[in-house]
Amino acid sequence: MKKCEAFIIGGSAGSLDVLLKILPLINAAIKFPIVIVIHRKHGTDSLLPDLLSSRTKLKVKEVDEKEPISAGTIYIAPSDYHLLIEQDRTFSLDYSEKINYSRPAIDVTFQTAAEVYKEKLACLLLSGSNSDGVNGLKSVKLWGGTALIQDPKTAQVAYMPAQAQANVKIDSVLSIEDIAEFINLLS
Q: pLDDT tens across 45-94, in order?
A: 568 889 999 999 999 999 999 999 999 999 999 999 999 999 999 999 99
Catalytic position from the list 15, 127, 132, 139: 132
* Cβ atoms 60, 49 nearer than 8 A: yes
Please tell me the predicted confidence (pLDDT) of residue 17: 95
Task: Give the pLDDT confidence score for residue 16 in this predicted structure.
Answer: 94
Radius of gyration of the chain (CA): 14
Pairing of strands 172-174, 146-150: parallel
pLDDT of 99-156, one tens digit each?
A: 988 999 999 999 999 999 999 999 999 999 999 999 999 999 999 999 999 999 999 9
List the catalytic residue out of 15, 39, 82, 102.
Answer: 39
Burial class, 104, CB count within 10 angstroms (exposed 0-12 / middle 13-18 / buried 19+): buried
Angle of helix 134-142 versus helix 106-117 axis, rounded to 10: 10
pLDDT at 138: 98
State pTM to two decimals.
0.96
For residue 44, pLDDT beyond 70 = no
Per-residue model confidence (pLDDT) at position 101: 87
Active site residue 12: yes
The strand pairing partners of 59, in sequence order, are 73
User: What domains sit in the chain, N to C, each tagged with a CATH number?
Assistant: 6-186 (3.40.50.180)
Mind listing the pLDDT tens digit for each residue in 157-171? Answer: 999 999 999 999 999
**Residue 39 is a catalytic residue:** yes
SS3 185: helix
Q: Which of 12, 15, 102, 131 is catalytic?
A: 12
Would you state the pLDDT for residue 40?
A: 81
